[in-house]
Amino acid sequence: MAGTYGGRKTVIRLTLTAMFMALNIVLSSFSVPVPGGHLYLNDVAICFAAILLNPFEAFVVGGIGAFLGDLFFYPAPMFVSLVVHGLQAVVISLFAHYIMKKHPVVSSGIGVTIGAIIMVVGYTFGRVYIYGVGDDVSALWVGSIAKLPFQCLQAGVGAVLGMILAYPSQLRKVFQKIVGEKPYAISK
């Protein structure tokens, strides 16, 4: 098979996308207890995968992976997860692949920062939307704001560890070699 998505390259990309999606599902199934709340590590998988994969594959990993993780373990926010983590992954991927191609580290850093903001804002509003039944919506905003530090921590840990896995650990270069992509210059 010829073409960009033909044969061996397609199988490799499909397999890696499925593996990252499974990792997202697994990491969304448990949390690390922190004082006053919980920290979920699936943002690490979403950010790392989005840096490596194209926007569609990143959406599958981030959006559909988070949706399935919630569906299996805690279904209430599954549609919020689909939209928020899907958008987060697409934005990161767009920056990592199409913005400032000669400076992928800087571009990916901007992408994961914007992705973190999308995640925090999306879940803050999403929590109010999901649980917003009844007359006391102000209490929902207070509860949602109370969760804000944990959302920020989760987003920050995901962004930083995703960047570390992609660049200082050289896993991005390994990925590019496996899928046969031409590596971009790494900015210093």
For the chain, percent of residues with pLDDT exceeding 70: 87
| pTM: predicted TM-score of the whole model, two decimal places | 0.87
Give the mean model confidence (pLDDT) for residues 171-176.
Answer: 89
Domain ranges of the chain: 8-178
Give the CATH number of domain 8-178; options: 1.10.260.30, 3.40.50.10420, 3.30.70.890, 1.10.1760.20: 1.10.1760.20
Q: Give the tens place of pLDDT for each residue, 57-103.
A: 999 999 999 999 999 988 888 999 999 999 999 999 999 999 988 89
- Coil, strand, or helix at residue 112? helix
Does 72 or 134 have the greater pLDDT score? 72
For the chain, percent of residues with pLDDT exceeding 90: 58
- Decide: 48 and 166 in contact? Cβ < 8 Å: yes
pLDDT surpassing 80 at residue 6: no
DSSP one-letter code for 61:
I
Q: Give the tens place of pLDDT for each residue, 92-131.
A: 999 999 998 889 999 999 999 999 999 999 988 887 777 7
Least confident of 86-90, 140-144, 147-151: 140-144
Separation CA 160–CA 174 (nearest Å): 19
Which tokens belong to 150? 């944990």
- Coil, strand, or helix at residue 6? coil
Separation CA 9–CA 66 (nearest Å): 25
Q: Give the tens place of pLDDT for each residue, 151-168.
A: 899 999 999 999 999 999
Residue 114: which of 166, 184, 57, 51 has the closest Cα?
A: 51
